[in-house]
A and B are shown apart, each in its own frame.
Chain A
Amino acid sequence: MRTKDLVTTAISNTFRSKLRTTLTVLAIFVGAFTLTLTNAVGAGVSQYVDAQVGALGSPDVFIITQASDATAAGDGPVEYDASSSASVSSNQGPPGTTTKALTDTDLATIGDTAGIESVDPIRSVQPDYIEYDSGIPYEFSINATSAVTTADLTAGAQLDGGASEAQLVLPDTFVTPLGFASADDAVGASVSIGITDILGETHVVDATVVGVSLESLLAAGAGANDALIAELADAQSGGIDTAVTSYGVAVAHFDTALSADAVTALKADLATAGYTASTIEDQLGAVQTVINGIVGVLNAFAVIALIAAAFGIINTLLMSVQERTREIGLMKAMGMSGGKVYTLFSLEAIVIGFLGSAIGAGVAIALGSALSAVLSQGLLAGLPGLNILVFEPASVAFVIGLVMLIAFLSGTLPAQRAAKQNPIESLRYE
């Protein structure tokens, strides 16, 4: 029998028992549908995170903290040491996490490490409001690490770290309320930022909007360059030298020419010195790991559904082999080899698998795309740029391929039965 004939025969045999095929296909459909959707969620979220990482990632920056002093339960209280025990709350790790503070000595040590070009403490400033052209003031916050990150811009340019002019990257949600006609209109405008000092007095600092960014999941607030942060910090301290010599976090620039291995070595060097250095990518990688974990669990459920469906295929084909005992006997009597009979039934399994998975993936794409569009307007409108479901052709093809493989494996047992049938016994079969 020619391959083409085997395939067409397998396809037409599949449709001979329509109800049975339909039910089996439905079972596979459920698994393939779920798997396609969970993969799409994974892809959608990672694409979003990637975009965020891309937007945030300054490849030559470490975020440095003291190595965590989190004490393992059971170790008992740690003795106080005046020189090292000052803790500051930082936004590294879960809320409420405190890390040991970095002192000026620490900064010097870090700065002296071979490979580190510069190190700056991150100073957080808490502005009260922002207003434009004496309009309505709006509550406002600044992302402390924005000076070292790259924003996901919709208009204008990135912050210039070296500029002496106070620069601001405005979240796009502020554009209309502040009275700008468009994002482009906002670029170049001078806005006023109000900040209260430690004595309760309000100061106003002017800054120039150099860009407008999409609001980000990972870096909330506006972006400010070093000049603006310094100006705000000065205003916040009310002219009093608060002698802040401990910082939660420092940002270190390293040589961009370093290879990935050299960066790892540098991290290790800093670790031996007692500091935890991580690139922005490392930090977001942790987020991605969590998401991948969730997607993995969802995928596992989908695969369980597929395994259940596999038993459906086995059952269907066994019934089919039973029903067609005489037909198989006849074909073998007429000189069809056992191998070809095996192929024929395996192909039937694959056809069933293909039908279920192609329909499942198709419906998942159709429904998912619609759902994704609705969600990005509604529930997920707060995360611009997030497409919760992204259907990548490669992963859809992988799902279909995987299901066809499962179907093929399920078909082995029935196909073997068919192939082994003795033509005479089969023809005697009542």
Chain B
Amino acid sequence: MDSEWVIDAQGLEKSYGSGASRFDALKGVSVQIAPGETVAIVGKSGSGKSTLMHLLALLDEPDRGTLQVAGNDAKSLSKRAVNELRNKEFGFVFQQFFLTPNVSVLDNVILPLKIAGTGGKERRRRGMEVLEQLELADKAGNKATTLSGGQKQRVVIGRALVNAPRVIFADEPTGNLDTATGAVVEDILFDLNRSQGITLVIVTHDEELAARCDRQIYIRDGLVVSRTASTHTGAHALSTADALTAGGAA
């Protein structure tokens, strides 16, 4: 992977609806993410965190602003190339689990590989490897609905991981979990970042989780703000956030 691999977003704007019901969810957000970095997108509910993550992950298109992914302008990429990028280079952990019920844990995990067109044998091998890594190998044949919340979230991480992505986008990965289980899931994610160099973009309102990231981007009402303007946390988070978001704010 070349050092060019970055997400470079400038002046992203996104609004929903039109006329009187028009709502500006993002009002000009600039974000840069370097390879191998862990970045937290922090903000209150409704501040536009998920919206921003969706734009960065090419799941949605901004109304205004430019977005470069690995040196390519997102607008210039064909639909097919965007699909390919999301399938091969990105892993997703959404705000909800989105596991397919009545389908086995293994089948849930290998969904991205199936979409990619990987052969059945290879899919199984990769899927089991990931499940072992997440200590879920014994649950491979179980239906997804029979798992506990923490186990489900690990399956979701397994699914994000199975295609060996360069970036994992995680939207509130611990939001549905109790503190202890949440900590386990966090450890797994940061471990992946350390051992495999996977870039992490974590959306959260949990200050402690944000503090574990290399860098925090604070969002308020669709704008990037400095840490002090959003909430207050420990001195560690404060210094990194101020240092790194200064250039990004519009």
Using CB atoms and an 8 Å cutoff, list the residues of chain A in contact with chain B.
1-2, 5, 9, 16, 326-327, 329-331, 333-337, 340, 422-424, 427
Contact = CB atoms under 8 A, between A and B. Distances in A.
Contacts of A329: 98
Nearest to B79: A337
A9 B117 CA distance: 13
A333 B59 contact: yes
Interface string B12-30: 0000000000000000000
A391 to B, nearest CB: 38
The interface centre, meaning the residue of A1, A5, A334 with most chain B CB atoms within 10 A of its CB, is A334
Given A333-B59, A333-B92, A16 B102 contact: yes
Contact of A335 (B60, B84, B94): B84
Closest 8 CB pairs of A and B: A335-B87, A335-B83, A335-B86, A336-B115, A330-B98, A334-B112, A2-B117, A424-B60
B86 to A, nearest CB: 4
Contacts of B116: 335
A222 B114 CA distance: 73
Given A5-B117, A327-B100, A335-B88, 6 more contacts: A1-B117, A2-B119, A5-B114, A329-B98, A335-B112, A337-B79
Given A424-B54, A427-B94, A333 B114 contact: no
Contacts of A334: 86-87, 92, 111-112, 115
A333 B50 CA distance: 14
User: For chain B, what secondary structure do more than half of its interface residues adopt (helix, strand, loop), or is it mixed?
Assistant: helix
A427 B59 CA distance: 11
A330 B102 CA distance: 16
Most B CB atoms within 10 A — which of A330, A335, A422, A427? A335
B83 A337 contact: yes
A326 to B, nearest CB: 6
Interface string B92-108: 10101010101000000
A334 B163 CA distance: 10
B136 interface: no
Contacts of A333: 59, 86, 92, 94
B236 interface: no
Contacts of A423: 59
Contacts of B111: 330-331, 334
B80 interface: yes
Nearest to A324: B100
Given A427-B94, A427-B98, A336 B60 contact: no
A344 to B, nearest CB: 11
